[in-house]
Amino acid sequence: MDTETITDLVEDLAGDIDALEEALAPLISEALAASTSKLPLLDKAKLYVLATYAIESILFSYLRLNGVQAKEHPIFRELTRVKEYFGKIKAAEGISVDGNASGARLDKTAADRVIKAGLSGNARHDQARLARETAGAKRRLEDMGAVVSMTITSSSRMQP
């Protein structure tokens, strides 16, 4: 590489750094917690993960530039872990990693099967519940009969 090419590359890099500082100024000017306090929970998670990923990738690049085996360094495991959070956030948004909507629909037939399977084999419980309901119905019927007979008796006293 000649000096002119390197000078152009350094100038481009300086311009890119200036543009990056300008874009990041709103985030850098205040604490990250203050920036995220007004955001919904999912957006807050996205911002935290993106900030962490940016820091980790800068450290990874620094290690590689200094000749360190970055893939064997603990920072690589950390970077991989942070990447997993991107998938978790997408799952929380209802979007699968391949871009399709997740199957968040209710399969009524499967739900019916699960409920019936969970309730089957409880014949003793069902019989006890039926006995309680029958006893309650008989008691209410007897109470209604007593009220009707009292009403008839009181109405017959009123008639001359």
The pLDDT of residue 144: 84
From the list 58, 64, 60, the residue with the least C-alpha distance to 75 is 60
In angstroms, the Cα distances linking 146 to 4, 123, 140, 156 are 109, 34, 10, 15
Mapping DSSP to helix (H, G, I), strand (E, B) and coil, where does residue 95 land? strand
pLDDT of residue 63 exceeding 80? yes
Q: Name the pLDDT band for 160 (thresholds 50, 70, 90).
A: low
Q: What is the mean pLDDT of residues 145-157?
A: 72
**Domain ranges (residues) in the chain:** 31-93, 107-159
Q: Decide: 60 and 54 in contact? Cβ < 8 Å.
A: no
Q: Which tokens belong to 14?
A: 């300086």
In angstroms, the Cα distances linking 79 to 34, 53, 67, 125, 149 are 25, 7, 18, 55, 83
Q: Name the pLDDT band for 108 (thresholds 50, 70, 90).
A: confident
Note the pLDDT tens digit of each residue in 23-47: 888 777 888 888 788 889 899 999 8
